[in-house]
Structure 1
């Protein structure tokens, strides 16, 4: 038996398990690329019309730090400004999730040990996971490029955007392959891989806002490589080559580390805990908080930084959105009332609410991982009821999501207050007004966990659909019933307008109902043991 025996079978199994999530995620990324370009082409009839807005984007350091430099002062360049960095991050995260799920998560849950008892080589699980992630990344890049071609823009630039996603996704695939060899836990592997991704973003942002030789720091970040492809600008398609080389080298390192560790363990020894645990760990909430606090801290730091960056962009909003068409686009995406600055903040806060929903979903899905690993059964063997165990994780998922919204509202308000008349008093309520939509996403996750636990991760596909409807539904003139499927379509218009009181109350009722149904279903079903 060779070390790669069974790779094809494991690849088919991985695809069978994740095909709907992969398809939904890829389609969401492709729709984002297409929607952004199509909307921009509608706003600017020519490159000359886009020139003034482009100059304001170039001159704003906060915008550059967040999205990177403008590829070119053209309509197509503006159309991919957000897609380059946001698409890179999203593709990288998708690759990370697939590799970790089919390697370290399988080992931690004990399923890989059962597979290894059959005709499965030592390298096969890692090879299958890397193959699935790589094919997904390549498919995302190709379909994104083809979707842009449908808008009539330059073909070379279109394939350059596909190369951007391929560069980021392939390198992140290999980074995750190394991370899962280093630690024995899914959470530890995730911390390492996401830490590398965060560091790559910080290095890239620092380089983009630096002057002189400091700009060369971008070459130390694989997100910097993706950015420097510069679709509809320099079109450096050759940057795929160093990305492939780096991917191959990292995969070679991952393979070497794989043969230096035992199945189920990591290269780094697990740190022993204290001889006696804290008293608070004797309660379901205390244990859930201990498991989730590191993740919430990382998200809090990230949201505080994003809030400050977005708040600082307030000084340039008038120059960036200097045409009636751009203003109309912002109003459609934010609810439609208030000043231009209000419309800008409304749009950005809704986008960040989607991120808060992602945190809530990931936190709620910890219930499923705890159940699969058998730790949930151990907890429930004590006098802890199913409801208390469920509620402990649900409270952290819901309250943590609302906390992130409060953090970004305060941070954006503080930064914006120094350059405009909009401050914390306006942005904090606007951020918190998106909480009901976020809680609906958390409630739907619990519903899936209770009713069809094996499909719990489909919550990510549901969020992807909400993103497409919320971000681009109005711009693409989708019918009202389709837009109404997204909870983010019922929020009203804050800041600058009025909240949709009936819609917000309705969303809270929906969130409570789906969570109650999910909790009831969980109490009536058997545990996965």
Structure 2
């Protein structure tokens, strides 16, 4: 007898086949990042004095707490949780939301869901299959993180509590994405809603740690109440290696149950292919700018560019506002200064040069992420068939893809400049001579540009060569560059392996810049981009 869930098993197997590359890459890269962080703890902080020094600086430094977590102690496990656990939960969140939307709203947008639904498939089978696959992926992720931490010599109970916290956060975000997929008619909009929720959850966790209460020992903290509003905060509230509060898992499980029930109810109330939120009607006449490929690319990308610009500028304002407080702390703490020097690429520079170089390296990585996301929009246009309609006109392939490349690159250049301006003006207002600070920081910021453009060129080359695999491979290249480059030394990655990342070859300050490596990276970026354009011109469209 047919039910609303008929066909769930077969659709789950289909989803696993479609994700046979992407999900393993997400899972293994997340586990590898956690394993690197766990194995590097002893080498980075070999003595109790080193750990106490780092944590005492952390509890007084909002920027460190935003990107790390509230410290709970100085054991190997507690230092690992402090350094990497919140980021692992963030990665699980993005893995889960992207997968759920891919197998629900994207299937409807491309017409696959309607075709499958014409067979003996139940109304809720598609959503049930997507959630089953993503929940299973998070269970595997949780187990592998527990095994990786245990393999590094950390206590088994805390290791599996940490893994369970990361997996539970991913499951909670999967349910959030399931609801988002019912609201809009487009996969891009659903991904935007889900990604915003993940980002807000990470921000809430960070703010809760920033405004947390420092304990009398001076190096541990209790997070403020907003931590309980965030699935990522719940991961940290489990306190792995510091009590292992397994009861906290009730919260993500309950959220998953409530939102899953809500998403099934919403599915029953709407037509296939439609969303509960009506699309805003466009203007009766198109803008004259849409007559050109460049204008079309800007119209498609302007929301993404604006969102990333606001994020980068806000991050710059935060860095500038905490710079003086960080300077006071770093002036008396050689251990933390050394860690920042590693992040900035080494060289033993002045304390504030080291701090700003480290922060601008982080901003460079964020800008590279923007570029990858923006350029891969071309793949979404191709797979949906919209690119075919445009290219059926007098618009050439090089002009169409070149428009996306120009808009993305111009946005990256502007964001690096805005980062330097926002940091320089805020810091310069207190330190004196804002104009000089902006000029100095602009030079440091634009040192990141060749490395950033290499990842842009890689995305274009993959789009031209292997369009169906380009999304997963481009994001994998970004993650590897992020892990192996600016954070490789902090995670104990060997130098020969770190050299794979273009960010490993970025000088810390303009005075260190030499022509050869910068020229090589620039030429490589141009070569990758030109290769991608050429390959796209010669291949068939892949819908």
Q: Which residue of 2 aligns with 1:105?
A: 106
Q: CA deviation at 1:211?
A: 7.0
Q: Does structure 1 residue 262 correspond to structure 2 residue 271?
A: yes
Query: Secondary structure of the equivalent of 1:80?
Result: helix
| Stretch moving more, 86-95 or 497-506 | 497-506
Alignment partner of 2:229 out of 220, 237, 256: 220
Q: Does structure 1 residue 460 correspond to structure 2 residue 475?
A: yes
| Pairing of 1:105-504 with structure 2 (within 5 A) | 105-210=106-211, 215-314=224-323, 315-316=325-326, 319=329, 326-337=336-347, 338-417=349-428, 423-457=437-471, 458-474=473-489, 481-494=496-509, 497-504=511-518
Write the distance in 2 (CA, Å) between the matches of 1:183 and 1:429.
Answer: 42
| Stretch moving more, 380-389 or 83-92 | 83-92
Query: Secondary structure of the equivalent of 2:19?
Result: helix
Q: Which residue of 1 aligns with 2:528?
A: 514
Root-mean-square deviation (Å): 2.6
CA contact (8 A) 1:52 1:319 kept: no
Query: Secondary structure of the equivalent of 2:73?
Result: coil
| Stretch moving more, 441-450 or 422-431 | 422-431
Q: CA deviation at 1:247?
A: 0.7
TM-score (norm 1): 0.92
Q: CA deviation at 1:370?
A: 0.7
Write the distance in 2 (CA, Å) between the matches of 1:74 and 1:85.
Answer: 17
Q: CA deviation at 1:135?
A: 2.2
Residues 1:321 and 1:224: Cα distance change in structure 2 (over 3 Å)? farther
CA contact (8 A) 2:36 2:492 kept: no
Q: Which residue of 1 aligns with 2:11?
A: 10
CA contact (8 A) 1:166 1:240 kept: no
TM-score (norm 2): 0.89
Residues 1:80 and 1:405: Cα distance change in structure 2 (over 3 Å)? farther
Query: Secondary structure of the equivalent of 1:267?
Result: coil
| Stretch moving more, 380-389 or 5-14 | 5-14
Q: Structure 1, residues 196-247: CA drift from partner, whole Å, max 9, x if none?
A: 2233334434444447999323322323322322333343222111111111
Query: Secondary structure of the equivalent of 2:197?
Result: helix
Unaligned runs of 5+ in 1: none
Alignment partner of 2:540 out of 518, 526, 529: 526
Write the distance in 2 (CA, Å) between the matches of 1:118 and 1:409.
Answer: 57
| Stretch moving more, 219-228 or 363-372 | 219-228
